[in-house]
Amino acid sequence: MSKSYWLKDQKGNFSNAKEDTFDPKNRYVGIRLQQGVPLLDRDWNELEDIRRYEEAMLRKWYVGNGTPDNGYKITVVEPPGNDFKIAAGRCMVDGFEVVNDKEICYTDQADVKPLSTGTDRADTVYLDIWIEEVTGAEDPALKNSQDVNVPTCVRHKLEWRVRIDEESKGKENHHYYDLAEIRWEDGIIREVKDLRTTKLTLASVKDELEYVRQATVNKWINGGEIEYERSENGYKFVIREMLCIIRGQGIKFVKVESGEEVKEGENCVILARANGANIEPEIEFIITRKNLLEWLNSWTFEKVMPAKESGYVEPVLKSTFTLPLYFFERPSGAKELKETDLRHNGVLDTCLTELASRLNARERRMCTVPLLQQTIFGRAVPVATITVGKYPYEVAFDGAHAWVANYGENNLSKIDIATNALVETVDVGKNPRGVAFDGEHIWVANSGENSVSKIDIATNAVVETVDVGENPRGVAFDGTHIWVINFNENSVSKIDIATNAVVETVDVGEKPRGVAFDGVHIWVANFNGNSVSKVDIHTNEVVATVSVGEKPRRVVFDGAHIWATNSGDNNLSKIDIVTDAVVATVSVGISPRGVAFDGTHIWIVNSDDNSISKMDIVTNAVVATVPVGEKPRGVAFDGTHIWVANSEDNSVTKILRGDLR
């Protein structure tokens, strides 16, 4: 008996000394028969093996392990004892589907070891599947006694057993899947923890998307500052104008004043609400004795309310319509209120955390990261606003952190993109503007002292300062060199990142600002020249000058085109990098500045509109406009989120790109 890919030994009468010829490393996808030559069993068998392998791998890598119908669920027998039940149903393991036709107990199975009671402990219950070869000896029907009376072909059959980890795993040609953890007490199985992935169907993916749509639609954007003063009969609250996302729509709330009586020991919950089909906005003030602060701080979709208290109205919170804003407590004996600002909490962050734990456990490629990026069915939604230094100008991404150049404080803010926490502030030269990452270092142009600072991202230390031309602005990396725009000298400096030396200075157009790299050329936006210069990085020569709109500020590369933001014309020029021709002009917001590419869309900062536009690079259509902070400037993409520097808010806005295309 000899080995095949699917099972350890083969019992049938096969050619090639019973050795299968199938090997997945060959990457064969089919077999072609030829005329005039023998047809061997191993050719036919390899064709079947190729088909089976492709189907199994498709299910393994694109669907995953688990059950669509609650199959193979492990439960305690009644009354509890030295056994457990195995539910009927289906289960997928490494691309192979096994079926249990009816509920059985562990002890109903053949060829499994008896459960040993032993001491108190926990065991893992797992599904063991393998392929068995079936001949006429095991199945008399295969002997073909009704006609040829000769066994022709053998069969492969999928076998399974549910076992516990007292028996060793790791048998050759076997596949394993953990079903449950059972806990023993006094020799009896008392508790079962389910380890399966359930609802393994495309329909369940739709359900999860619907959950995301409902649970991630409410977020405070800006405004809503509150003031209060004590009056004779209570407290007068004033809430200023505010913008929120309610049920996926941007809702503006007008200034609201309200007088509320808050007695000692009572609390006031303030909510933003949009009720009815027309999404009518209102601010609601609710006086309650129950302290709901802990509950509000961890508010998630469909979270159960604390117990009601007689005589008080409790907030009715539904995440599809409601957003908590503030919580005020009046302690016993106090006249002043204790304020808790809930605006930044929203619903999105907590629900995404809950959703991530649900999806990541599935180990399914189709349901983990993409769902977290693709919330609200394509809507781009701000998820955080982070305070940084004074007058933030540009943003760059290093793989784990966003770096923000603070023009007004001569430093850079380093933000952890996972936690949104400001983890470091690094002092650099005067008036930093452009920022770029070279794989190990952040480079920032110090426009007020004609230099570039090189920062080690591991130590957060400035390791070199390189003198460049007058008033440096934009910065870009070409793989070996940093290119720095010299605004007042109409040139660009080329710096060797190994030696930190300026190796070339290239003259470009009048008053250059932005710079981008397309893989072969550097492209420079000439603000006063209303043009873009194309520089060959090998010859250091300008090989083309392309006329664009008025006052171009920034440029970005999308893989085939260069896009230039024309701040004087409120539009973008799309340039074919092969023909150097402007192939489209797209209108955006007022005074477009920074621009970034996320793989499918161009994002354009509209400085005088306090917004950012999202544009489809295929249709050249603006598909979304998202409100951000005041006077936004720079923008960067981190693989999941867009980061926008708001120069007059001293903040950056983090936006979930929400792309379902």
Q: For residues 544 and 509, is the Cβ–Cβ distance under 8 A?
A: no
* Residue 136 lies in domain: 74-200
- pLDDT at position 352 over 50: no
Select from 62, 96, 118 the last residue of a domain: 62
Same domain flag for 410 and 542: yes
In a domain, 335, yes or no: yes
Q: Is the dihedral of CA 585, 589, 590, 594 positive or negative?
A: negative
Cis before residue 281, ω within 30 degrees of 0?
Answer: no
Domain CATH code at residue 267: 2.60.520
Can you give the pLDDT at residue 467?
96
Can you give the pLDDT at residue 280?
67
Same domain flag for 160 and 257: no
User: Which pair of structure tokens corresponds to residue 459?
Assistant: 């130590």
Query: Which residues, in sequence order, are CB contacts of 27 under 8 Å at separation 6+?
Result: none
Same domain flag for 130 and 150: yes
Q: Count up the domains in the chain and report the number.
A: 4
Q: Is the dihedral of CA 313, 319, 323, 328 positive or negative?
A: positive
Mean of pLDDT over the chain? 84
Q: What is the dihedral of CA 245, 246, 249, 250, to 10 degrees?
A: -40
In a domain, 378, yes or no: no
Can you give the pLDDT at residue 559?
86
Same domain flag for 120 and 57: no
In a domain, 625, yes or no: yes
In a domain, 599, yes or no: yes
Q: For the chain, what is the largest distance between any 2 Cα atoms, rounded to a whole number of angstroms? A: 107
Same domain flag for 287 and 346: yes
User: Which pair of structure tokens corresponds to residue 166?
Assistant: 């007292």
Q: Are strands 338-341 and 381-387 parallel, antiparallel or unpaired?
A: unpaired
pTM of the predicted protein model: 0.49
Output DSSP code: residue 258.
E
Select from 310, 330, 351 the last residue of a domain: 351
Question: For 431-448, what is each residue's pLDDT tens digit?
Answer: 999 999 998 999 999 999
Output DSSP code: residue 337.
P
Q: Is the dihedral of CA 185, 188, 194, 195 positive or negative?
A: positive
In a domain, 410, yes or no: yes
Can you give the pLDDT at residue 285?
84
pLDDT-above-70 percentage for the chain: 83
Same domain flag for 429 and 563: yes
- Average pLDDT on 66-92 reads 91
Select from 136, 165, 200 the last residue of a domain: 200
Same domain flag for 400 and 271: no
Same domain flag for 41 and 101: no
In a domain, 413, yes or no: yes
Same domain flag for 186 and 133: yes
User: Which pair of structure tokens corresponds to residue 385?
Assistant: 């606003």
The count of other CB atoms within 10 Å of the CB of residue 230 is 12
Output DSSP code: residue 201.
S
Same domain flag for 167 and 239: no
Question: For 362-418, what is each residue's pLDDT tens digit?
Answer: 332 223 223 333 333 334 556 688 999 999 999 999 988 999 999 999 999 999 998
Q: For residues 314 and 290, is the Cβ–Cβ distance under 8 A?
A: yes
Q: How far apart are CA 270 and CA 323, in angstroms?
A: 9
In a domain, 546, yes or no: yes
Question: For 290-302, what is each residue's pLDDT tens digit?
Answer: 666 655 554 443 3
- Angle (nearest 5°) at CA 111 between 106 and 114: 50
Same domain flag for 343 and 240: yes
Domain CATH code at residue 413: 2.130.10.10
Residue type present at position 28: Y
Same domain flag for 563 and 592: yes
In a domain, 374, yes or no: no
